[in-house]
């Protein structure tokens, strides 16, 4: 049983409620006018990331109370428990040690008395050897051709991290190796992924922690059939064209992939926290082992910052507490993540699993109702594209949508003044959201009175801006770890388990029950009337009846 009192009984919670009533009516214009240094004061730099959080609906008192809330929620002890390998994933009785995946050689982190760091590095070394062989052309396919195409088959955490990272780090990737990803059980995904490919030049990575996930197994079996069809059904080809990433060695062998071609990880790595594990094999193939190690070093730098920095200068803690502030005191339901870098176009999608599978919980570790709203919906698109789409609602809609802007000092693709234009836009958006445009300003500009309400920008819309020097592998690692630990901070305040995902189970079970009902002959259907009707209608569509 936890010794942390329920949220409502933590003194800082009540104090924040009273404080919210005082600060909510204050406009950011007013807060900035009262403190000309605010823009530099409410900023923090660590691990090469500059966080400007001055455009938030906060003052020093808010920050003090939020820090108190973190302390009264036992955040410090939770951090120590995670880093020391305690089984903080209590519903699955597992340690939570994605931080061990990024620990340097020589560090020591124990689970049940066993030091896991040497295991981590042994797998990284095996991955590096394999990646080098594939990238150099030493690894040959069944007919003696080198690998030109790599297809990662996986879903959720076994897909989104590699998809995002391969896109984010495309600048660093071997351009003579194409990387593709298959996740959806919709046959279109597989069919399009292999379109035009020569099986003799194609390598599949079957990535699944459990090696039982329906979608991944269906796609893996289709991939094997596709490959073997090209090799006259010679099952020996599997060894040259399939490798696996999993914690389930028995199921991998049963599939026909040799143990030597399996890269393992461990039950203390959650799917959505696994991109630094062997799940990152496709990323390593794309960018090479050295750059992959730089990515891990970036993660580690942020891990250490999170573990050691005082809360007032701790980037993930600040961001996590601000997320709680808006979700629970302003009733904000979503947070927009807006990277001003085209390479980060899949970053918001990646964050959706990281954040929402982690904080989409309604009960505390003890099974009691949380007593407050949890997990915001994270969403977003790269700027400037989003500006011509959904930003309208963020600027003038009726909902409060805190935004995280992400930008880089230097572009990887200098092209005329494109980068200055990009940066001018990200700075302008934060400014417009915070300060808006008043009716008086519009009238002074001679705007017709009938248009004044339409053209007014209320402002007072909060944002963080994250500025990094350049999108390097290390920078990406830092950014991902920043959000991982922000989620951890939110979870600690809410007292929830960020590391299980029981909410995905029911749909899986029901799909298994329905699948046999979709065969040729209609069985007796015993679902609700809506589900029964949908199944019958689908049968008619399928049969052209």
98-136 residues labelled b (16+ CB within 10 A) or e (exposed)? bbbbbbeeebebebeeeebbeebbebbebbbebbeebbe
Kindly tell me which residue out of 54, 216, 283, 472 binds ligand F6P, with binding defined by CB under 6 A: 216
Known active-site residue 522: no
Bin 413: left if φ > 0, else alpha if -120 < ψ < 50, else beta.
beta
């030493």: which residue's tokens? Answer: 138
Q: Phi and psi at residue 202, in whole multiples of 5°?
A: -115, 135
SS3 312: helix
**Which one of the listed residues 114, 221, 454, 508 is annotated catalytic?**
508
**Can you read off the two tokens belonging to residue 526?**
């015993």
Q: Between residue 473 and residue 512, which ones bind ligand F6P under the rule CB under 6 A?
A: 501, 504
| Only segment of 22-30, 50-58, 208-216, 220-228 that touches ligand F6P (CB under 6 A) | 208-216
The overall longest dimension of the chain from CA atoms, in Å, is 79
Active site residue 87: no
Q: Which of 195, 388, 445, 449 is catalytic?
A: 388
Work out whether 210 is an interface residue with ligand F6P (CB under 6 A): yes
Pairing mode, strands 110-111 and 114-115? antiparallel
Half-sphere exposure of 502 (CA within 13 A, CB side): 10
128 binds ligand F6P (CB under 6 A): no
Which residue minimizes CB distance to ligand F6P? Answer: 271
Count residues near ligand F6P (CB under 6 A). Answer: 14
> Could you give the residue ranges of the DSSP H alpha helices within 205-265?
214-230, 238-241, 249-255
Residue with tokens 């966080």: 51
Smallest gap from Cβ 357 to ligand F6P, in A, equals 6
- Is 152 an interacting residue with respect to ligand F6P (CB under 6 A)? no
CA distance 486 to 322: 9
Specify the length of the chain in residues. 545
According to CB under 6 A, which one of 74, 85, 141, 156 is a site residue for ligand F6P? 156
Smallest separation (angstroms) from ligand F6P to the CB of 248 = 8
- Tell which one of 162, 199, 264, 271 touches ligand F6P (CB under 6 A): 271
> Pick from 131, 155, 205, 220: which binds ligand F6P (CB under 6 A)?
155
- The nearest distance, CB 276 to ligand F6P, in angstroms, is 14
Stretch that binds ligand F6P, among 64-72, 152-160, 332-340, 381-389 (CB under 6 A): 152-160
Catalytic residue among 294, 357, 381, 484: 357
Residue 465, number of CB atoms within 10 A of its CB = 22
Q: Closest Cα to residue 165, out of 269, 301, 320, 285?
A: 285
Of 87-95, 151-159, 434-442, 529-537: span binding ligand F6P (CB under 6 A):
151-159
Task: With contacts defined by CB under 6 A, name the span among 51-59, 137-145, 207-215, 255-263 that binds ligand F6P.
Answer: 207-215
**To the nearest whole angstrom, how small is the minimum distance from the Cβ of residue 277 to ligand F6P?**
11
Phi, psi (deg, nearest 5) at residue 232: 55, 30
162 binds ligand F6P (CB under 6 A): no
What's the CA gap between 454 and 451, in Å, rounded? 5
Q: Out of 56, 89, 202, 208, name the contact with ligand F6P by CB under 6 A.
A: 208
Note if 61 is an active site residue.
no
Q: Rounded to 5 degrees, what are φ and ψ at 99?
A: -65, -25
Shortest distance, position 465 Cβ to ligand F6P, whole Å: 30
**Distance between CA atoms of 333 and 355, rounded to whole angstroms?**
13
Half-sphere exposure of 46 (CA within 13 A, CB side): 27
- Residues whose CB is less than 8 angstroms from the CB of residue 420 and which lie 6 or more positions away in sequence, other chains included: none
Site membership for ligand F6P, residue 158 (CB under 6 A): yes
Closer residue to ligand F6P, CB minimum distance, 415 or 506: 506
| Residues at the site binding ligand F6P, with contacts judged by CB under 6 A | 155-158, 208-210, 213, 216, 271-272, 357, 501, 504
Q: Annotated catalytic sites, by residue?
A: 357, 388, 508
């Amino acid at each position: 049983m936890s010794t942390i009192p329920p949220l409502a009984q933590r003194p800082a919670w009540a104090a924040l409620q009273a404080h919210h009533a005082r600060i909510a009516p204050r406009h950011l214009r007013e807060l900035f006018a009262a403190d000309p240094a605010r823009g530099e004061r409410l900023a923090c730099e660590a691990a090469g990331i500059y966080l400007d959080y001055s455009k938030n609906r906060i003052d020093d008192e808010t920050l003090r109370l939020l820090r108190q809330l973190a302390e009264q929620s036992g955040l410090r002890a939770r951090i120590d428990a995670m880093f020391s390998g305690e089984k903080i994933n209590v519903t699955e009785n597992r340690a939570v040690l994605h931080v061990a995946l990024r620990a340097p050689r020589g560090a020591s982190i124990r689970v049940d008395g066993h030091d896991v760091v040497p295991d981590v590095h042994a797998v990284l070394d095996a991955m590096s050897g394999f990646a080098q062989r594939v990238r150099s052309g030493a690894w040959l396919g069944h007919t003696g051709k080198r690998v030109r195409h790599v297809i990662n088959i996986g879903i959720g955490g076994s897909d989104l991290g590699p998809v995002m990272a391969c896109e984010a780090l495309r600048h660093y990737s071997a351009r003579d190796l194409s990387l593709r990803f298959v996740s959806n059980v919709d046959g279109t995904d597989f069919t399009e992924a292999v379109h035009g490919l020569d099986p003799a030049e194609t390598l599949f990575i079957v990535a699944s922690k459990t090696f039982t996930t329906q979608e991944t197994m269906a796609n893996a079996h289709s991939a094997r059939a596709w490959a073997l069809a090209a090799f006259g059904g010679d099952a020996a080809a599997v060894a040259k064209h399939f490798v696996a990433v999993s914690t389930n060695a028995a199921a991998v062998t049963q599939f026909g992939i040799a143990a030597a071609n399996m890269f393992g990880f461990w039950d203390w790595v959650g799917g959505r926290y696994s991109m630094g594990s062997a799940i990152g094999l496709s990323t390593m193939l794309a960018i090479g082992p050295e750059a992959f190690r730089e990515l891990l070093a970036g993660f580690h730098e942020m891990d250490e910052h999170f573990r050691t920095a005082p809360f007032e200068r701790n980037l993930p803690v600040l961001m996590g507490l601000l997320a709680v502030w808006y979700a629970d005191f302003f009733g904000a339901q979503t947070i927009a993540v807006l990277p001003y870098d085209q390479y980060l176009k899949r970053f918001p999608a990646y964050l959706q699993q990281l954040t929402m599978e982690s904080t989409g919980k309604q009960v505390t570790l003890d099974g009691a109702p949380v007593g407050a709203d949890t997990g915001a919906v994270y969403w977003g698109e790269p700027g400037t594209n989003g500006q011509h789409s959904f930003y309208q609602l963020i600027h003038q809609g009726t909902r409060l949508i805190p935004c995280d802007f992400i930008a880089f000092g230097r572009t990887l693709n200098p092209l005329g003044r494109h980068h200055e234009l990009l940066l001018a836009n990200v700075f302008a958006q934060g400014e417009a959201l915070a300060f808006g445009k008043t009716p008086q300003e519009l009238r002074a500009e001679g705007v017709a009175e009938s248009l004044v309400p339409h053209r007014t920008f209320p402002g007072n819309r909060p944002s963080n801006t994250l500025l990094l020097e350049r999108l390097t592998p290390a920078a990406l690692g830092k950014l991902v770890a920043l959000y991982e630990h922000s989620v951890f901070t939110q979870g600690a305040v809410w007292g929830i388990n960020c590391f299980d995902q029981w909410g995905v189970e029911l749909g899986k079970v029901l799909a298994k029950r329905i699948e046999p009902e979709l065969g040729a002959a209609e069985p007796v259907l015993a679902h609700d009337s809506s589900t029964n009707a949908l199944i019958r209608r689908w049968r008619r569509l399928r049969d052209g009846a």
